[in-house]
Structure 1
Amino acid sequence: MATAALPDSTTSKDPQWGRILICGGTDWPKLGKKGAGKGGEGDGPINPDLLEPNILRSLLNVKITSVHTSCAGCHFVAIDIDGQAWLFGRNGSSCLGVVDVEYVSENAPIRLKPTDLGAPAGTKFVHAACGRNHTILVGSDGSVWGAGANTLGQCGQTVCPEVSGFKNVPVTHQGNRERVVKAAAGTTFSVVLTDTGKVFTFGSAANGQLGNGTTGERIVTGNKTAYDIETKPIYVKELHEKKIVKIVSGPQHTLAMDDTGVVYVWGYNGYCRLGLGDQKDALKPKVVPQFAGPNPSTMGADICAGPSSSIIADKQGMFYMAGKWKNSGDGSSGSPYSTFRFIQDIMGCKVMHARSGGVTHWLITPDDDGMPMTVCWGQNAANGELGLGLDEPKSATKPTRNVPLQGIEVFDIAAGQNTTLFLAKPNDKFSELPRHPEDVQPPGACPKCRKDEGDPLECDKCDSPWHLHCLSPPLAEIPAGEWFCPTCVAAGPGSAVGTYWKKLKKPKFGVHKPPPQVAQPADDYDDDFDDSSDSDVGTKRKAPAGRGGAAKKKRS
């Protein structure tokens, strides 16, 4: 088949955009459970583990500007250049905003526009955050929407089992509406950041995740332990007059960085994941002393939160970790990093970008030729989420170059619990990568003339072979860059690929109806993400705030 060179993905008018690569598990309902990655049976879908980065065919003709997930999540949000959101993955508690489906395939992602949620015309999605089973979307007009599990108010709505459709979350301070620009999400809470640098939180306060100085711990009816639940965003007063520019959250802790590079941490501190030298939960934001100055070069430039660890990259590009991030030796549960320590194996790397997944850790650093080099490591990466290659080990105990991505200009990474997405600029090396799904059953001959002859031009998305003279209008030569056939163009951006997915009906978006009364929150830790070994919440069952009339207990 004829091929063509691929152009750079940026122009003077467009923001930076790229194409999505995927590796790791795609058997969304079973990820983290026995039997994942075995594929489908009979005429059903094939959901394999991808052991190397694959081009995601379904979104190959969509210009993506950012990708979002969490280390505890099995679902993803991709935002395109037009401000539309593309969602796929596990649909636990309707976290994708759709109902009656267990998951949404990456081969048939759903598209969501802000106007679908009642936003004014011209509004774009600008950011997103994924918790374990809930999702937060941010609009260009400062609006916030949440969907998914809401047993502890993490979607910003009155407590109920789930918010089945994206619902607006008003964010106000002293009677004035705040414009939100970014979001982060843990398992039982959410965090939003405004354009003026204010931070607001909502959800469960069980381990200080809300940063308001209290958990509200008390004994209620039935001798159960209850904690405060905030269903409306509350202002984090401890960060007053601080210009926060970035927020990230792990399952039960949060990091924030201000415009000078000072890093603040709060929430659950098991395995010393906050890097403060102890394991005492921080109920209010605390400054990490190592990144408080006065030397500007040693202050924070990037922050990241893993399941039981935290990462900070300073302005020199040095990479620091705290907490538990591996299974044995220093950095394990028996000997966690109590304060932020640099990783010896990557001291020579200038870190530009850092991420953590369920068991994976990632960084992007300049290679000798100036191209970005993707480095990764992680133990027990059972689904191939490191993407090291078909004949390579699935896990890596030490930082290693991701060889399949050599020569690929990766500029963003979304590291999920068992799956990893990369956002990369298309180039010749990119076009040589395998594609997912591997077989889309293209026609054996040109769809126009039905003849299998000559050197046809192959569609980048569906592999259909077309003769140049059969196109309308005919082409005199192979076009530069990516090329999509008339069928894919007619189907529109992000259309489903593969015979099985093309036949299915699109999932139905849910519409949330407030519950008639407050539901009894269930323990939010009985799912398949195993952070239970970290004792993030323990075995205490939570009850709604306000029951029993017992006095609240504060912890310093």
Structure 2
Amino acid sequence: MSAAKKQKTKNGSRATKKKRDEESDDDFDDFEDQQTAPSPASSGGGDQPDLEEGAAAPTEDELQKHLGEPGRLILAGCVSWDSTGKSSKNKISMPFNCLWSPMRFGPCADKKVCKVITGRQSCHTVLITNEGKAWVFGRNTNGQLGTCDTKARNIPVIVDTLKESTVINAAMGKNHTLFLTINGTVFGCGENKCGQVGVGHTQPNILVPTRINMKGRKVVKLDCGNEFSMMVDSNGQLFGCGSPEYGQLGNNTDGQYFITSSKLAFNYVTSPKRVPLFVEKDKDNRATPIHDVSVVDLSCGINHTAVIDSNRRVFTWGFGGYGRLGHASQADEKVPRLLRGFEGPQKGAARIWCGGSCTFVLNHLNILYMAGKIHTGASREANMYPQVVQDLSGWTVTDMSVSCHAVAIAADNNLVVQGGGKTYGELALGEGRKSSANYDTVKTLEGIKVKQVATGLGHLALLAIDENEEMTAKINKLGQWTPKCA
């Protein structure tokens, strides 16, 4: 980090989150006529946001294709959503309600939940039912639940303004949320001080889910970092908005400029901009453009992103600390850079997951690689380039999720976890186990098929499948937790 970047203002805070008077007008701004002023709906009052028009109701087969089978929602970790990660003014920890072992979530007992989504530093969660309806609960300080207010929810509530839409996926940063509908439309809400909601301005909070103007493009994939968002359209083109810090938007800049001789700010990208360039670099760091990239999957960390293209190649960019980008360096990358080792028919990537300071790649032979570092509390060197996760050799990984302090992997009807640092029971190992320097299985979930797993700040959510009577009995044997108040 440069000396200039560390300069502080007179009151001691870093001056890096100011909006520039004029947005960049570079030649890859596909949506330069996006709105530049807040709409009444954005602040939680007035007219409702643009809704989808002329959308035919999806068939059951279409819903099944996008959502899959429903599962039983199970939680672990801190469920005091407004307290997680916070301390009171006198530095005394705030009260927490923690689930140290996995428990069924009582309010969802009658819901057919097909997807569960949270963010790496998020304290809120989105559930998507078999009907394509979005239910939300958790922290809501910036309107990230899309409930048109800032009141936290302990019991899931439906997102009223999206009732007429069929939601098939969601993604979230620390305090903002994006909802994806079956027609490829994206709605965003929550914190927007860096333009991360993508609605064309930097009004601090968007309380009502507001449609992002993609100019007729259909979005098929999306994910979020802490203060930025990335989307892929049906043509495999990649778009980003929000904070360009560290080059995390992939648009060849970190967006920094000087307000004064010692005060830095960022030029935020408030509307989705296409990422036009992908490169490979030689040992002398010389870049050569790659022209045949069509993105099929992506994952965002806190300040970095990784994608897989149609040729099963991996590209990473953004913050390079701990070697999380896998390029044998800690340097930031401002343009998507080819990650060596996954080219060719026998080495291609199948899935990818970014954590707080690491990147996992699963190749098509079901071999799992990791670059970067997992903060487990143990003193371990970072992987500066992708290395095989030897502890999981021979396991069939079906899903995984990585937060800042925890890794959770669904494999062979087990949940495998690793993590440490400031944890709240999200490893689900029981009250006597707050961390695990090595990969370990959650004993109470052994023999249970986990369809999906999601790790957030201090909590874990997963969907378990009633595949047979034995699994049903094991799931029913878990305790059930129901919040005392809504």
Which residue number corresponds to residue 276 of structure 1? 327
2-structure distance, mates of 1:287, 1:232:
26
One-letter amino acid of the counterpart of residue 481, structure 2: H
Which residue number corresponds to residue 16 of structure 2? none
Which residue number corresponds to residue 508 of structure 1? none
Mapped pair 1:214 → 2:253: yes
2-structure distance, mates of 1:233, 1:361:
30
One-letter amino acid of the counterpart of residue 387, structure 1: A
Does the 8 A contact of 1:352 with 1:364 survive in 2?
A: yes
Which residue number corresponds to residue 353 of structure 1? 399
Shift of 1:216: 3.0
1:38-437, aligned counterparts within 5 Å?
Answer: 38=95, 48-105=97-154, 108-112=155-159, 115-116=162-163, 121=164, 123-157=165-199, 158-172=201-215, 177-221=216-260, 223-238=262-277, 241-291=292-342, 293-294=343-344, 296-327=345-376, 332=380, 335-366=381-412, 372-380=413-421, 382-390=423-431, 392-426=432-466, 427-437=472-482
Write the deviation string for residues 308-365 of structure 1: whole angstroms up to 9, x where unpaired. Answer: 11111111211211112135667x4xx3211011223222323222210231112122
1-structure distance, mates of 2:119, 2:255:
27
1-structure distance, mates of 2:423, 2:410:
23
2-structure distance, mates of 1:135, 1:317:
31
2-structure distance, mates of 1:11, 1:227:
45
2-structure distance, mates of 1:114, 1:142:
17
- Change in Cα spacing, 1:343 to 1:325, as seen in structure 2 (3 Å) is same
Shift of 1:246: 1.1
2-structure distance, mates of 1:11, 1:145:
24
Report the TM-score, using the length of structure 1 for normalisation. Answer: 0.69
Write the deviation string for residues 386-429 of structure 1: whole angstroms up to 9, x where unpaired. Answer: 11124x41211100111111121111001101000011113221
One-letter amino acid of the counterpart of residue 189, structure 2: A
Shift of 1:16: 1.4
In structure 1, runs of 5+ residues without a counterpart are: 1-9, 40-47, 367-371, 438-496, 502-556
Write the deviation string for residues 110-164 of structure 1: whole angstroms up to 9, x where unpaired. Answer: 1025644xxxx5x310110010010011111111111111111001120121112
2-structure distance, mates of 1:412, 1:100:
29
Partner SS, residue 334 of structure 2? strand
1-structure distance, mates of 2:409, 2:346:
19
2-structure distance, mates of 1:85, 1:114:
10
Which residue number corresponds to residue 28 of structure 1? 81
2-structure distance, mates of 1:186, 1:132:
7
Does the 8 A contact of 1:357 with 1:416 survive in 2?
A: yes
Write the deviation string for residues 157-192 of structure 1: whole angstroms up to 9, x where unpaired. Answer: 2012111211111113xxxx1101221011111001
> Which moves more between the two structures, 161-170 or 28-37?
28-37
Which residue number corresponds to residue 464 of structure 1? none
2-structure distance, mates of 1:348, 1:230:
43
Shift of 1:242: 2.1
Does the 8 A contact of 1:248 with 1:256 survive in 2?
A: yes
Shift of 1:101: 3.9
1:2-21, aligned counterparts within 5 Å?
Answer: 14=64, 15-21=68-74
Write the deviation string for residues 47-70 of structure 1: whole angstroms up to 9, x where unpaired. Answer: x20011111111111111111111
Write the deviation string for residues 64-110 of structure 1: whole angstroms up to 9, x where unpaired. Answer: 111111111111111111110011111131111235544211xx211
1-structure distance, mates of 2:459, 2:93:
12
Partner SS, residue 352 of structure 1? strand
1-structure distance, mates of 2:322, 2:205:
31
Partner SS, residue 246 of structure 2? coil
1-structure distance, mates of 2:212, 2:399:
30
Shift of 1:207: 1.0
2-structure distance, mates of 1:101, 1:215:
31
Partner SS, residue 391 of structure 2? helix
Report the TM-score, using the length of structure 2 for normalisation. Answer: 0.78
1:373-522, aligned counterparts within 5 Å?
Answer: 373-380=414-421, 382-390=423-431, 392-426=432-466, 427-437=472-482, 498=484, 500-501=485-486
In structure 2, runs of 5+ residues without a counterpart are: 1-59, 279-290, 467-471
Does the 8 A contact of 2:357 with 2:404 survive in 1?
A: no
By relative contact order (CA 8 Å, sep 6+), the higher-ranking structure is 1
Higher radius of gyration, 1 or 2 = 1
Does the 8 A contact of 2:134 with 2:162 survive in 1?
A: no
Shift of 1:38: 3.8
Partner SS, residue 32 of structure 1? coil
Does the 8 A contact of 1:191 with 1:200 survive in 2?
A: yes
Write the deviation string for residues 433-461 of structure 1: whole angstroms up to 9, x where unpaired. Answer: 11012xxxxxxxxxxxxxxxxxxxxxxxx
Shift of 1:382: 2.7
What fraction of aligned residue pairs are identical, expressed as a percent?
29
2-structure distance, mates of 1:155, 1:396:
35
Partner SS, residue 148 of structure 1? strand
Which residue number corresponds to residue 27 of structure 2? none
- Change in Cα spacing, 1:192 to 1:401, as seen in structure 2 (3 Å) is same
2-structure distance, mates of 1:423, 1:318:
23
- Change in Cα spacing, 1:320 to 1:230, as seen in structure 2 (3 Å) is same
Taking only aligned residues, the RMSD between alpha carbons, in angstroms, comes to: 2.2
Does the 8 A contact of 1:83 with 1:124 survive in 2?
A: yes
Partner SS, residue 233 of structure 1? strand
One-letter amino acid of the counterpart of residue 109, structure 1: P
Does the 8 A contact of 1:322 with 1:336 survive in 2?
A: yes
Partner SS, residue 183 of structure 2? coil
Shift of 1:258: 1.6
Name the structure with the higher strand share. 2
One-letter amino acid of the counterpart of residue 187, structure 1: N
